[in-house]
Structure 1
Amino acid sequence: MMQTREIVTDDLATWVDRCAQALDAGDRLITLFGRPDAGGDTVVTAVVMGGEGGLRILRGRGRRLESFPSLTPRHPAAQMFERELWEQTGLIPAGHPWLKPVRYEGEHQQHMTDYPFFKVRGQEIHEVGVGPIHASVIEPGHFRFMCHGEQVHHLEIQLGYQHRGVEALLLRRPPLALASLVESIAGDSSIAYAWGYCAAVEALSGTRIRIETDLVRGVALELERVAMHLASLTGLATDIAFLQGGATYGRLRTAIINACMRICGSRFGRGWLRPGGVRYGISEEQRQDLLATIAAFAKDFAEVNDLMLDARSVRSRFRGVGVVGSEAARDLGLVGLAGRASGMAVDMRVSLPGRLYTRDPITLLTEESGDCWARLKLRMREIDESVRWLTRVLETPELDLASVAPALPGPLSPDTLCVSVREGFRGPVVQSLETGPDGRLIHYKVQDPSLLNWFGLAFALRGNEISDFPICNKSFDLSYCGNDL
């Protein structure tokens, strides 16, 4: 958290140079965004993280339609950030190789049919379009495959069919009344979003939180991680007709989300976390219930994992399919599990552990092959690690997780920027809140990890059969609504 008066604000050209220097030095770009200021200019902010952890803020100012040298040709991980910046503010990243709308907001609304799809030409090249309307209840997205026979040369993913206006809605209510809206930004990551929001409000208001509150929030987040990884494993098993896995993973997920419901009344943790604390502690009876649920879960989970990993049909279907190598993953800026499955050792619970994960560390896990097999195995391993962490915390007898009455936060500090990062099951959920001179929010920036990983899915399909798309898609398991804010 930084007072904005303490942040050096450069002109746009100097700001780009400073960003380029940081990225050339190996810093990781966490987020990059812009907002209008009262004078009609655009304030641009980049948040970078060095190899030793810790965040650094680089800020600049530009006029509408002003151009700046694009970072993308040298640092491809900036490509989506610059596209979003151009779409939302009108600043032009000159030399960007892929300058296309992200969400079709503002001037681009109602122009989805003008989308400039990439073209692959050749006598036997054909295109296959899927969506935007899909079977079942998933949200809209269009996938266009450029194929030679059954082999995919390129996949282009067009999202932006939903105009929810989340970031504008977040400025229409008082800061302390945003929890229910934040929880619904991406429904399968309600806890990760709620905790990030709560932490930001608490930092801006100077509210002190007891370690027991952090522990309850950590239990909620790891339960969410286990449940959502299980949903992904269910889909992967079902997509290849491995029925033992599909049925068992689904049953085990139900056990986890029902345990969550017994604590807070919601299977997805909605209403559990609020600024200043949590609405529901974990009583001794609930603690024992959770421990019993986790112990029974771990036994069945190990058995079905052995079945899944030992099956020749599973190995044949997943190994070598949808590969994203480590160099490509770094260049594309993949985050979360998708990046770790390609050998990138980045987990915000380790890089930015905060008080909770410093007290009770979690092990950073990676795989090296970068294929569907690696993403499958890493989900299993991360569930095992979350179960170990949950068991260790819940078995600590001196912790009182029941008496965690929330403290009501006070007014927010004026002229302050707070960047909150929480490692959800997909990757880092980033929320940036900025206040004005009167302490009211003037900007609320939301970033789901899916925003950065959709292009990784497109890259993974190159050279694969079009029939490999369902398992590649599910192995990434990205969020449409996390993109279409």
Structure 2
Amino acid sequence: MSAVTLKNCGLVPLAALEILDFCAFAAALRQEVDAQGRIAALFAAPAGEQFDLFALIARDWQGQLALLRSRVGARYPSLTPELPQVHLFEREIAEQYGLVPEGHPWFKPLRFHPSWTGRDAWGRDPRRHPLVGEMDYYRVAGEEVHEVAVGPVHAGIIEPGHFRFQCHGEQVLHLEISLGYQHRAIEAQLPSAHPLARVQRLEAAAGDTSIGHATAYALVCEALGATLAPPRAQTIRALALELERLANHVGDIGGLATDVGFLPTASFCGRIRGDYLNLGAEICGSRFGRGLVRPGGVAFDVEAPRAEKMLERLDSMARDTQGALEIFFDSPSVLARLEGTGRVRVEDAEALGLVGVAARACGLAVDARLHHPQGAYVDTFDHVVIEESGDVFARARVRRREITDSLAWVRRALRDLPGGELRRRVAPPAAESLAVALVEGWRGELVHLALTDARGHLSRYKIVDPSFRNWSGLALALRGEQISDFPLCNKSFNLSYCGFDL
């Protein structure tokens, strides 16, 4: 039995997705992974008294996506022991719908919120949220092993998250990360929300990735309505997405400079990040790009005089960026702190399904702009930046090189904006269908999927932010490291709490 294949931003009628017996579903999923497929999403949707399981597989080097479907009851055999990529997806399904993946090696709540259906896989009282102290954390036994708990409330201006270290002296033996304190039930709200409210919620799904999530949502809507945004709108979307990437990559390198006490780059990048955000505000008035991307196109234009003004400012910002990065990467004291710290092996990154900067720093060529291009990226993006050491230095180097590539891409886009309209009317969504969109956000791959019912209304909307995949990578990066290296490793991943807590 073969999966249904489609391209990025494609649509499949649900009737075309065969409902496989679970054993056949699991075998097909293993076969896809053995053939170098990545499990981009695994999620459930109600189907009467049972539940449909959907798996989205990214066949990167074929430029294809594949879909598998099965139907299960309240319990099913866990896929995690053989396919570690799904370990969080299975816990998420258990929390949302109360389904139990029997044999899951670490079966515990993921975000600590009541089940969507009122059925709870752990027998918890759905009227209350359990406290951190009630959670079952992994513990390392042994003489002189001690535990350090950090958060969820932190000393700095930071979102809440709980980190529990098992240490021997200063060496970290194990780190367990517990999130969920930012949970807003966005996925559960989307099907019944007004269309305008949907895009506003998604722009805030991960606030530093407003353009990325809004673009993915627009592409899903356009796939459901068999509508293609105009070329000018596609280019403006990609332009805003690259400015979002530039602002955050520059900010991250400034954060790394702060964590190693290198103040020149820290201060420069803090200001330059603001410059990139302000350049994005030139397009739509919002420094985070909110209100720009809408289904069918964009709501704001970049006229020729504005494009010229943006190019002039970009040239000055590029020089400042280059100077700030050069003094950082040319400093021996900086390199001594970055090199060899927080290493993640490529086999571990692949097993966990890491994406984005974290994956590319381990040598994995995972980039939706190359493998699954859409819009203005088609035929304009031809290579992926990768490093191989998998450490903090590699993650910093990936950002530095991607800054150079993004600057070149933005310049070309501003000089060669296509003519034509900004927005087209999107046709009503196809009934009983599934649509999917992959967008390469600045952290990594964003995955959005939508299911419609017989009337063409949304019945299920699934979001996978790259942080959902990559927090497990941070936990691995700390094994064997000094606990004092946690801030540096954490910043080198710079993952979103609220992006995880959808």
Report TM bin, short chain: over 0.9
Q: CA deviation at 1:362?
A: 4.7
Q: 2:141 — aligned with what?
A: 121
Q: Distance in 2 between matches of 1:63 and 1:74?
A: 21
Q: Does 1:321 align with 2:341?
A: yes
Q: Does 1:471 align with 2:480?
A: no
How many residues matched?
479
2:69 to 35, 59, 66: 59
Q: Distance in 2 between matches of 1:53 and 1:368?
A: 23
Deviations 1:34-71 (A, max 9, x none): 0112x12111100012231210100011112x222x22
Q: Distance in 2 between matches of 1:391 and 1:284?
A: 13
Deviations 1:239-281 (A, max 9, x none): 1111101111111111111111122010000001111110101
Q: Does 1:6 align with 2:16?
A: yes
Task: Classify the secondary structure of the residue corresponding to 2:191.
Answer: coil
For residues 267 and 362 of structure 1, do their structure 2 counterparts lie closer, same or farther at Cα, with a shift above 3 Å needed? farther
Q: Does 1:273 align with 2:283?
A: no
Q: Distance in 2 between matches of 1:29 and 1:223?
A: 28
Q: 2:421 — aligned with what?
A: 404
In the TM superposition, what are the counterparts of 1:378-397 in structure 2 within 5 Å? 378-396=398-416
Deviations 1:74-119 (A, max 9, x none): 2211211122122222332222212121111223552343321111
2:83 to 67, 75, 79: 75
- Check whether the contact 1:326–1:344 (CA below 8 A) recurs between aligned residues: yes
In the TM superposition, what are the counterparts of 1:271-350 in structure 2 within 5 Å? 271-350=291-370
Q: Distance in 2 between matches of 1:405 and 1:19?
A: 40
- Which shows bigger deviation, 147-156 or 134-143? 134-143
Amino acid at match of 1:225: R
Gaps of 5+ in 1: none
- Which shows bigger deviation, 451-460 or 356-365? 356-365
- Which shows bigger deviation, 129-138 or 418-427? 129-138
Q: 1:167 — aligned with what?
A: 187
Q: CA deviation at 1:394?
A: 1.7
Q: Distance in 2 between matches of 1:176 and 1:19?
A: 36
CA RMSD of aligned residues (A): 1.4
Q: Does 1:450 align with 2:460?
A: no
Q: CA deviation at 1:194?
A: 0.3
Task: Classify the secondary structure of the residue corresponding to 1:61.
Answer: strand
Task: Classify the secondary structure of the residue corresponding to 1:170.
Answer: helix
Task: Classify the secondary structure of the residue corresponding to 2:410.
Answer: helix
1:111 to 130, 133, 142: 130
Q: Distance in 2 between matches of 1:356 and 1:185?
A: 24
Q: Distance in 1 between matches of 2:34 and 2:274?
A: 46
Q: Distance in 2 between matches of 1:373 and 1:464?
A: 15
Q: Distance in 1 between matches of 2:156 and 2:482?
A: 24
- Which shows bigger deviation, 95-104 or 242-251? 95-104
Gaps of 5+ in 2: 1-10
Task: Classify the secondary structure of the residue corresponding to 1:146.
Answer: strand
Q: Does 1:156 align with 2:176?
A: yes
Task: Classify the secondary structure of the residue corresponding to 2:42.
Answer: strand
Amino acid at match of 1:42: F
Task: Classify the secondary structure of the residue corresponding to 2:158.
Answer: coil
- Which shows bigger deviation, 200-209 or 431-440? 200-209
Q: Does 1:357 align with 2:377?
A: yes
Amino acid at match of 1:56: A
Q: Distance in 2 between matches of 1:120 and 1:6?
A: 48
Amino acid at match of 1:27: G
- Check whether the contact 1:20–1:71 (CA below 8 A) recurs between aligned residues: no
Task: Classify the secondary structure of the residue corresponding to 1:48.
Answer: strand
Q: CA deviation at 1:11?
A: 2.7
- Check whether the contact 2:370–2:382 (CA below 8 A) recurs between aligned residues: yes
Q: 1:250 — aligned with what?
A: 270
Q: 2:444 — aligned with what?
A: 427
Deviations 1:450-475 (A, max 9, x none): 01110100000011100000010000
Deviations 1:433-485 (A, max 9, x none): 11000000000111111011101000000111000000100000000001111
- Which shows bigger deviation, 143-152 or 17-26? 17-26
2:44 to 29, 34, 49: 34
When normalised by structure 2's length, the TM-score is 0.93
Q: Distance in 2 between matches of 1:89 and 1:26?
A: 30
Deviations 1:180-213 (A, max 9, x none): 1110111000000000000110111122321111
